[in-house]
Amino acid sequence: MTRYRLGTFWLELVMIAVTAVMAFPLYVLVNMSLRPEGSVSSPTAPTTSPTLENYGDAWSQAGLGSALLNSITITGLSILILVLVSSMAAYHLARVTAMWSRGVFVLVMAGLLLPFQLALIPLYVTVRDLGLLGSVWSLVLFHSGLQIPLSVFLYVGFIRALPREYEEAARIDGSGSWQTFRLVVFPLLRPITGTVIVINTVLIWNDFLTPLLYLSGSPSQTVPVAIYSFVGQYITRWEFVSAALVLGVLPVLIAYFAMQKHVIRGFAGGLKG
Amino acid sequence: MKRFISRPGAVGAAGPPDDQPGVTARPDDGRAITAEPDIGTAGRINGRPSPGRPRWRARAVPFWFLIPALALYGFVVIWPSLQGAAFSLTDWDGLSPTKDFVGLANFRELWSDDVARGAVRQTIIIAIAVTIIQNGFGLLLALGVNTQIRSRNLLRVLLFAPAVITPVITAFLWRHLLAPTGAVNDVLGAVGLGALQRDWLGNPDLALWSVVAVIVWQFAGLSMVIFLAGLQSIPREIYEAAAIDGTGPIRRFWYVVRPMLAPAITINLVLSMIGGLKLFDQVWVMTGGGPGRATETLSTLLYKEAFQFGAFGYSIALAIVLTAFVAVLASVQYGFLRRQEESAQ
C-alpha cells in the first residue's frame, strides 16, 4: 500500500497520459494563438514562427481591458455583500432554534433547487422597469441574491459545529450582539469564508447568461460576454480568436494556480459539506 | 459533515482571537467565563433556556441579522419566481402593458409542441449521461490520484483546472476542435483512425454526445476533487485491514470504500444532475441548439422563446417544467440536507 511498486509506475504512466490528453485542447489553443493569420498548417502541428501580434489586436478590439474591470467590480462587490449578509443570516439561523427560524432556513434552502431561469425573466422585466439594464449594479444585485442559499448553507453547517463558549463569554461581558458577531464569531468563520469566496468567485466570474441579458446593448461588458461578442464577430479568423480566448482564460488560470490549494480545498470541503 | 466539525475545532484550539472583548479587557471576570459554558451546554441540550437563567441567551442573535439576506433573496429569487408562476398563465409578450389570462394554454401548447418535447428529451439525456459518465470518470481519476504515484499533486491541480475556466471560453475552444477540419479529426487522421473522422457538431446524431463529452471534459476534475476528499477521509487502517484479510482490489472497493464514499457520491450526483438539467452556456455557444433542433435544451429554448420571439408566458412555462424536473431531485437533496443537519447537531 505504501511502497512504490512496478504497478504504481504503470499507473503513473497511465495517469500522466490521461492528463496529457485532457490538457491537449489547451495546447491547441495556445499553439493557434501564436500563429500569423491565414496559416494553413494543421492546428496540432507546433507553430514554426510564433508571434504575439494576435494578442495586442485581440486585447484592444475585444475591449478586454474594460471588461476585466467590470468583471472584477461585479465579482468583488457581490462577494463582499454575500459574505457579510450570508454570515449574519447564517449566524441567526444556526443559533436560534425557534420554529419560524427553521421555516426561514427551509425557505432559503429551497433556493438551492430553484433553477435561476425561472426568476430570470420576471426579474429582467423588473430590472428593465427600474432602468437598471446595462448597469453593473443590476448584476451585483442579481448575484448577491442568487448565491445566498449556497452561501448560507455553507455558513450554517460550519457555525452549528462551532462551540458557543466564546460568544457566550463575550455576551456576559456585556458585548452587544453585533459586536459579538463582528469581533468574536466572524473571525472564527475564516475557513468557511474562504470556501464561500472561492466557490462564488468561480460561479459569478464565469456567469454568461445573466450579463448577456442584463448588459446587452450597453458598452459595459463582463469578460465572458466580451469574449462571446468578439468571437462571434471574427469566428473564421481563428488565430485571432484564439488569442482572445487565451486572454480570457489567463486571469482565471493565474488566480487558480496561485491559490490552487485553497481553491481545491474550497470546492472539495465546501461542497462535500 | 465530519469536516465541518473538525475544522472549527481546529480553529477553536488555536485559541480565541486576541481582540475578543472581555477576555483581555477584563481579566477579573475569568470566573464568569469559565462558569458560563455549563449554562450554555445545558441550554443547548434542553433546546430552550429554562426560567431563571440569564435572558440574554434568547435574544443572543436578534432577528435583524436575517433581514439583509432575506431582502436580497426575496427580491432576486422568491418574488420573481412567484411572478413567473403567475406569468406562465398569461400570454404576455414582455413589452405590452396588457396581458390576458389564458389558464393552462401555455402548458397545453408545450405538451403538443414537438420542439418543446424534444428539448425536454435532450435535457434529460444530457443530464443523465453527464451524471453517469462524469462521475464514473471522476471516480477513476480520484482512485488513480489517491495512490503513491509521484505526480499525484501536480496531476490533481491540472485535472481540476478545466472546472474553473469560463464555460463560454471552453465551448468556443471545443467548437473549433470539433469542427470538420479541427484538431480532433486531425489527430484521428494522424494516428490512422481516419475512418472515425466526423462532423462532430454538425451531425444531428452526434452533436448531443459531443456536447456531453465537452461537459465531462470540463467537470470530471470537479467530481474527482470531491471523491478525493471522501477517499482521504477514510482511515488507512481500514484499507490495510481489508488488504491483510486478502480482499481483492475490486471487492475492497465495493465493500469497504464505496459505503464510506456515500456522502461524496450523493453530492456529486446531485451537483452534476442539476448542472446538466440547467445547461445553457456550452450548448448555446457550441451548437445554438442545432443542427436543426438536435441539441435544443430547455434553457436554450426558453431563452429563444423569451428574447427572440417575445413569448414570455410560454417561455416561463418552459422554466416551470425545468423547475419541476429539478424538484424531482428535491426529495433526494432534502434527505441529504436533513442528514447533514442531524449529524451537525
Q: How confident is the model at residue B333 (pLDDT cuts 50, 70, 90)?
A: low
Q: Per residue in A45-61, pLDDT tens?
A: 777 777 788 888 888 88
Tens of pLDDT, residue by residue over B37-93, are 333 333 344 444 444 444 445 456 888 899 999 999 999 989 988 888 888 888 777
pLDDT of residue B146: 87
| Domain-located, residue B187 | yes
Cell numbers 488565430 label which residue?
A: A239
Please check the confidence at residue B273 and state whether its pLDDT lies above 50.
yes
Residue A188, domain extent: 56-272
**In a shared domain, residues B170 and B136:** yes
pLDDT of residue B55: 45
User: Residue B198: inside a domain, yes or no?
Assistant: yes
Tell me whether residue A260 is in a domain.
yes
Rounded average pLDDT over B125-146: 92
B183-210: b (≥16 Cβ within 10 Å) or e:
bbbbbeeeeeeeeeebbbbbeeebbbbb
Among A1, A91, A153, beta carbon nearest to B243: A1
Mean local confidence (pLDDT), A90-114: 86
- Residues A158-177: pLDDT tens digits? 888 888 888 888 888 888 88
Does residue B215 fall inside a structural domain?
A: yes
For chain B, the C-alpha Rg in angstroms (whole number) is 27
The DSSP symbol for B48 reads S
Answer for the pair B291, B203: CB distance below 8 angstroms, yes or no: yes
Domain-located, residue A49: no
* pLDDT tens readout for residues A244-258: 889 888 888 998 988
Sorting pLDDT into bands at 50, 70 and 90, what band is A2?
Answer: low
Domain that holds residue B254: 107-344
Evaluate whether residue A30 is within a structural domain.
Answer: no
Domain identity same for B174 and B309: yes
* Chain centroid offset of residue B197 CA: 34
Instruction: State the pLDDT confidence band at A63, using cuts at 50, 70 and 90.
Output: confident
Q: Is residue A165 part of a domain?
A: yes
Q: Are residues B322 and B216 in the same domain?
A: yes
Decide if A173 and B25 are in contact by the 8 Å CB cutoff: yes
User: Across the interface, which of B72, B150, B173 has its CB nearest the CB of A245?
Assistant: B173
Candidates B7, B93, B164: best to mutate against A (most CBs of A within 10 A) is B164
What pLDDT score was predicted for residue B29?
A: 37
The β-bridge partners of B101 are B90
- Which residues share a beta bridge with B90? B101
Shared domain check, B340 and B254: yes
Exposed, middle or buried: residue B228 (CB in 10 Å: 0-12, 13-18, 19+)?
Answer: buried
Total residue count of chain B as it appears in this document: 345
Q: B280 and B160 in one domain?
A: yes
Q: What is the number of domains present in chain A?
A: 1
For chain B, what percent of residues have pLDDT higher than 70?
77
Q: How far apart are CA A81 and CA B142, in angstroms?
A: 35
Burial of A3 (0-12, 13-18, 19+ CB in 10 A): exposed
In this structure, of A13-22, A124-133, B257-266, B297-306, the range with the lowest mean pLDDT score is B257-266
CATH, residue A213: 1.10.3720.10
- Dihedral through CA A170, CA A173, CA A174, CA A176, nearest 10? -10
CB contact under 8 A, A8 and B66: no
Q: Look at residue A39 and tell me if it is in a domain.
A: no
ipTM score? 0.87
Q: What letter represents residue A29's amino acid? A: L
CA distance readout (Å), B237 to B140, B144, B148, B234, B245: 22, 19, 16, 9, 12
Is A4 domain-assigned? Answer: no
Q: Structural domain tally of chain B? A: 2
- pLDDT at position A270: 58
Instruction: Please check whether residues B213 and B229 belong to one and the same domain.
Output: yes
Same domain, B251 and B324: yes
Angle at A198 between CA A193 and CA A202, to 5 degrees: 145
Torsion sign (Cα): B247, B259, B325, B77: negative
- B155 min Cα distance to partner chain A (Å): 7
B184 lies in the same domain as B233: yes
B86 and B195 in a single domain? The answer is no
Please check whether residue A36 lies inside any domain of the structure.
no
CATH of the domain at B276: 1.10.3720.10
Residues B129 and B267 both lie in one domain:
yes
